[in-house]
Amino acid sequence: MNIPENSDLNPGNSENPEVQKSIEFFKQLEKMPPEQKLAAFLPKCAGIEKEKADEVINYMAPLFYGSGIDFGVTLPEWVKAASEKFWQCFWGLNLKKNVENENFAAGFFVEAMNLFSPNDAKSDLTQALNPLTDFLRGEVAKLPAEGLMEFADARIKAKKWTEKIKNPTERAMVFLFIAVGWKEIEKLGSHVKTHQWLLDKKVISPYTDRAETAKWFREVGLPKGRAGRPKKNTDCSTIQ
């Protein structure tokens, strides 16, 4: 949330001890090593062997980077850009840069928490999010009519996101696969081979030509690499 420090909607101005406890949790979360962050987001991953945890983190880090969640994993700039583009395709705004209107930011946050609260109600992350959500709901009720309209508008737009995620566009899926499959793409070493890889993974349609994917590749700065025609990849399995 991009809410000014002097705003009544800024949780930092609350004297509620539960809210302050939540703020401290997120401050500590930023400093946690990747495996601890993973356990915070996915409690079932707590205590799993390091090799398996690293495997999950390698997908989580690029996937969530564009939403503003940094797992502390070093990623190429084109991977970061792909993740940001993926989230922009769904939300219609740059989550990492946040939104400028504080009332809109508050509404978006509250509705997002309604839609995507962690399944485990007892997890540390859920326990930290709940006081912040309750605080915003309480403070928003004090806003003038214009502020309430901005808050409501944000909640409506957040709900519309759920429909988008059910039917993602091909462009959004390309950005997603570039982000989470970046290590494999890096080995391919060319736009031509990456196009074929996306085709083999059934991310793109056989009717999507290379000019279209090349445009998307340029949007995120995917290195062109070597030229040459790719060998046909018969493995059509999807990234898990």
Distance (Å) of CA 180 to CA 64, 70, 75, 205: 10, 14, 11, 19
| pTM above threshold 0.75 | no
Element (H, E) at 102: helix 102-116
Which domain, by its residues, includes 142?
Answer: 11-57+99-165
Secondary structure element (H or E) that encloses residue 163, with its range: helix 145-166
| The pLDDT value given to residue 133 | 85
Number of domains in the chain: 1
Domain-embedded: residue 91: no
Amino acid making up residue 221:
G
Specify if 158 maps to a domain: yes
pLDDT truncated to tens, each residue of the chain (240 aa)?
Answer: 556 676 777 888 788 899 899 889 888 888 888 888 888 878 788 888 888 988 899 889 998 898 778 888 899 999 999 999 998 887 665 555 555 677 877 887 777 776 655 555 567 777 888 888 888 888 888 888 888 888 888 888 777 776 666 778 899 999 999 999 999 999 998 999 999 999 999 999 999 999 999 999 999 999 986 544 444 443 333 333
pLDDT at site 82: 96
Q: Is residue 113 part of a domain?
A: yes
Non-local (6+) Cβ contacts of 58 within 8 A are: 73, 183
Is 137 inside any structural domain?
yes
pLDDT confidence of residue 40: 82
Pair 99, 2: CB distance under 8 Å: yes
- Whether 130 maps to a domain, the answer reads yes
pLDDT for position 236: 35
Residue 62 lies in a domain: no
- 19 assigned to some structural domain: yes
Residue 226 lies in a domain: no
